[in-house]
Amino acid sequence: MSGVGTEVWGVCLLTLCFASFHVTALKPQLFTIRGGGLPSSSDPPISYKTSYFDQKIDHFGFLEDGTFKQRYLTADQHWQRPGGPILFYTGNEGDVTWFCNNTGFMWEVAEELGAMLVFAEHRYYGESLPFGPDSFSDSKRLNYLTSEQALADFAVLIQSLKKTLPGAERSPVIAVGGSYGGMLSAWFRMKYPNVVVGALAASAPIWQFPGMVPCGDFYKVVTQDFAKSGFNCDTNIRESWKAINNVSSTAPGLQWLSEEFSLCAPLKNKMEVAAFKGWLQETWVNLAMVDYPYPANFLQPLPRWPIQVVCKSLSFDSPVSDYQLLHGVSQAVKVYYNFTGGASCLNTSQTATGSLGVLGWFYQACTEMVMPMCSDGVQDMFEPEEWNFQAFSDECSSMFGVRPRADWAATLYGGKDIASHSNIIFSNGGLDPWSAGGVTQNLSDSLVSIMIPDGAHHLDLRYSNDLDPPSVRAARALEVQYFRQWIRQAEKTR
């Protein structure tokens, strides 16, 4: 990383930043499936209004008094005004239209609750850029990219809507979010219970912070998904790293590897092989996150239960030759990247495309969102890798000129000591690696956990589907029950 330092500004290609993280293996794990989130052709058409709100750039200091345009989407077709509830999506690290299109649950319950829907974009993502195209140009401009500022944006926006939108003044607002957006939902209810009467935090790893859960649990869940999806599937992936090292140690081996995986850019050196392994690792993680029970259309379409399909190419008895093993891996990977057979080659920087979101998330990981991850190659199927905070911090310093504060999130958001809060649903999927950092047991009568054993990453927030397992149907029904309860509570006290 040395030498990238300050020059990274303005010329930093996302792929370069990403690769640099890969090289030192200090990549922050991303929540969003990159490029993902496009609506499926089978999803019902939705209609919303796009608006922009003048939001303070800095809520926590008064010197910077400028504003920026925060984008938000609204849909009031089913809203029973005055006073009908508002479901408010606390946008996460990406274009808010993705989340709007991929949170079918909200669209489906709007009618039965007589609710208005609001999807608010997170600052520094999508179109909500505090300094326009320069928002990422230096650490001074990036300084307002924090979860606290984002929560304040949501709070100020809601208070304004309640004042200005006819019929909204007494509407109870419920926060909804998935993944990092789910963390924001939960934190939003904790910090602004005056603004939202409750929160649904779907697949929200609010405990994936230092000292709260073992750093290896995340990759253990990924491994379990593969272990139960096909004979020897996890074992063969575990063996594949050494096979890659062996094969890539010679020039002909490198060439074979590049051809076997149909890589668009052939591998040339050890650094690129390390990046290639990082790309594979991320592919397995992504598959675990989207291991849905029905075909889903992300960047490219995936079959139902994609890990089972992937594992068909990896279900052989070891030992096999390195070449046989890696042929299986390449077949498996192509399920993810080339299910329809339309890709002429595989681009290992592909996972990093899509939006500024990646750079924004890296900055957040380098400041507040310190989420330790590690692997040991025994309880998981990955190469052993310790969590090295100092190295991570150094990398952040050279990349953004900031250092992460490891304990801040715990102090600010309560860590494991959150039982005094109320009205939060933590839903988690048993297949989702992020469940490792989630709240998977009830903490009180009104801080409840809903487990979806057959669910991947926030399956409950997606459109319902004939192939949905009963567990997610039950989860959604229970979530709506809690919504109704919170709405009744709010009606009593207003």
- Catalytic positions, written as ranges: 179, 432, 457
- Establish if 90 lies at the interface with a copy of itself (CB under 8 A): no
Residues numbered 173 to 192 that lie near a copy of itself (CB under 8 A) are 191-192
Which residues 6+ apart lie within 8 Å of 55 measured at CB?
67, 68, 69, 70, 123, 128, 153, 156, 157
- Establish if 57 lies at the interface with a copy of itself (CB under 8 A): no
- Establish if 114 lies at the interface with a copy of itself (CB under 8 A): no
- Establish if 102 lies at the interface with a copy of itself (CB under 8 A): no
Q: Which lies closer to a copy of itself via its Cβ, residue 40 or residue 139?
A: 139
Residues in the chain: 494
Query: Are the C-beta atoms of residues 38 and 63 closer than 8 Å to each other?
Result: no
Min CB(403)–a copy of itself separation in Å = 6
Q: Which lies closer to a copy of itself via its Cβ, residue 279 or residue 392?
A: 392
Helix (H, G, I), strand (E, B) or coil at 120: strand
Q: Please identify, among the stretches 103-111, 147-155, 339-347, 462-470, the one whose residues bind a copy of itself according to the rule CB under 8 A.
A: 147-155
- Establish if 420 lies at the interface with a copy of itself (CB under 8 A): yes
Helix (H, G, I), strand (E, B) or coil at 376: coil
Q: Which lies closer to a copy of itself via its Cβ, residue 416 or residue 473?
A: 416
Residues numbered 208 to 267 that lie near a copy of itself (CB under 8 A) are none
Site residue total, a copy of itself (CB under 8 A): 44
Give burial (CB, 10 Å; 0-12/13-18/19+) of 155.
Answer: middle
Q: Which two tokens stand for residue 162?
A: 């309640």
Min CB(62)–a copy of itself separation in Å = 4
Beta-sheet strand order (sheet of 424-429): 49-56, 67-75, 116-120, 86-90, 173-178, 198-202, 424-429, 447-452
Min CB(193)–a copy of itself separation in Å = 4
Min CB(494)–a copy of itself separation in Å = 9
Q: Please identify, among the stretches 117-125, 164-172, 276-284, 397-405, the one whose residues bind a copy of itself according to the rule CB under 8 A.
A: 397-405
- Establish if 194 lies at the interface with a copy of itself (CB under 8 A): yes
Residues numbered 122 to 141 that lie near a copy of itself (CB under 8 A) are 139-140
H helices within 114-209, ranges in order? 139-142, 147-164, 180-191
- Establish if 62 lies at the interface with a copy of itself (CB under 8 A): yes
Give the residue, chosen from 35, 83, 167, 401, that forms a contact with a copy of itself under the rule CB under 8 A.
401
Give burial (CB, 10 Å; 0-12/13-18/19+) of 7.
Answer: exposed
- Establish if 454 lies at the interface with a copy of itself (CB under 8 A): no
Give the residue, chosen from 29, 70, 92, 149, that forms a contact with a copy of itself under the rule CB under 8 A.
149
Question: How would you label 352-385 residue by residue, b for 16+ Cβ within 10 Å and e otherwise?
Answer: bebbbbbbbbbbbbbbbbbbbbbbeeeebbbbeb
User: How far from the centroid of its chain's Cα atoms is residue 44's Cα?
Assistant: 24
Spatial CA neighbour of 290 closest among 28, 101, 36: 36
Min CB(106)–a copy of itself separation in Å = 23
Identity of the amino acid at 151: L
Min CB(45)–a copy of itself separation in Å = 35
Q: Which two tokens stand for residue 60?
A: 């926590």
- Establish if 118 lies at the interface with a copy of itself (CB under 8 A): no
DSSP output for 424-482: EEEEEETT-GGGGGS--S--SSSEEEEEETT--TTGGGSPP-TT--HHHHHHHHHHHHH
Which stretches of the chain bind a copy of itself, using CB under 8 A? Answer: 56, 59-63, 65, 139-140, 142-144, 146, 148-149, 152, 155-156, 159, 191-195, 367, 401-403, 405, 407-408, 410-412, 414-415, 417-423, 493
